[in-house]
């Protein structure tokens, strides 16, 4: 007898999975614990905010999840890779293939134009071709509303425009993950709201998972999930409205 197959619920795919993640720093007189035995799963396509008081370790946690730093102990899997088993060169390859970054201070190279800054991640790829990279970067600059500023240097752009360039740069290699560390921290209120809306819009359109650290409670509530780092432990809060 032929057995009929039935539809089953497909479990969402965890793009980040951390178990027992611990970070400690050895000081001259004692060992400082930043956080201990954190468990966290983030799923593909989500918008996730991490908040906490200044010095709580939220940026440290973001750096570890983004593979920029290593935890003292624990297991971390990102985009199918067991990060805790990789050396620095291997982690760099994971970042190149899967991860984009947006920083509070923009981190644009001042001697390059907006277009050249956006093209930078593509230059690190083995199949880099100038014309194709320019076309791709220009399309992203148009998507963030800066096509006319493509050949301008960062110093003549406003803070909001520089952050838009940084977002385009983060997305140009079509990453699975975007990590944003206080992406609106250096912007005025109106410009910050524009950048927030842009990040959420691109998250929906491109399906890229967004993980951000912020001190802005309103921004955190707009994310689908909100974690707060308190006394070395993660507390998940219910969000008011997903963007």
For residue 243, pLDDT over 70 is answered with no
Residue 12 binned pLDDT confidence (cut-offs 50, 70, 90): confident
Residue 8 binned pLDDT confidence (cut-offs 50, 70, 90): very low
What's the pLDDT at 184? 87
Residue bearing the bigger pLDDT, 85 or 126 = 85
Provide the pairing of β-strand 209-213 with 47-51. Answer: parallel
List the CATH code of the domain at 14-237.
3.40.50.300
Place of tokens 């093209």: 119
| Element (DSSP H or E) covering residue 209 | strand 209-213
For 109-121, the pLDDT digits (tens) are 999 999 999 999 9
Highest mean pLDDT among 24-28, 181-185, 226-230, 236-240: 226-230
What's the pLDDT at 7? 46
For residue 4, pLDDT over 80 is answered with no
| 174 in Cβ contact with 99 (< 8 Å) | no
Residue 240 binned pLDDT confidence (cut-offs 50, 70, 90): low
What's the pLDDT at 126? 83
Domain chopping of the chain, boundaries: 14-237
Counting DSSP H helices and E strands in the chain, the numbers are: 7, 10
Lowest model confidence (mean pLDDT) among 53-57, 164-168, 175-179: 53-57
């Amino acid at each position: 007898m032929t057995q009929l197959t039935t539809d089953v619920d497909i479990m969402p795919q965890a793009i980040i999975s951390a178990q027992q993640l611990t970070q400690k720093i050895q000081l001259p007189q004692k060992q400082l614990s930043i956080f201990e035995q954190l468990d966290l799963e983030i799923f593909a396509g989500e918008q996730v905010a991490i908040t906490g008081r200044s010095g709580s370790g939220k940026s440290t946690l973001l750096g570890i999840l983004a593979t920029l730093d290593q935890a003292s102990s624990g297991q971390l899997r990102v985009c199918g890779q067991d990060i805790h088993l990789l050396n620095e060169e291997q982690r760099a390859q994971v970042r190149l293939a899967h991860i984009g970054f947006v920083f509070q201070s923009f981190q644009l190279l001042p001697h390059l134009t907006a277009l050249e800054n956006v093209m930078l991640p593509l230059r690190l790829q083995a199949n880099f071709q100038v014309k194709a990279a320019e076309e791709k970067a220009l399309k992203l600059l148009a998507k963030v509303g800066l096509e006319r500023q493509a050949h301008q240097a960062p110093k003549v752009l406003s803070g909001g425009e520089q952050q838009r360039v940084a977002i385009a740069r983060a997305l140009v290699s079509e990453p699975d993950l975007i990590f944003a560390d206080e992406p609106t921290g250096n912007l005025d209120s109106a410009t910050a709201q524009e950048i927030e809306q842009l990040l959420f819009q691109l998250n929906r359109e491109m399906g890229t998972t967004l993980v951000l650290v912020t001190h802005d409670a309103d921004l955190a509530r707009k994310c689908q999930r909100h974690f707060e780092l308190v006394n070395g432990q993660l507390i998940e809060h219910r969000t008011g409205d997903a963007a």
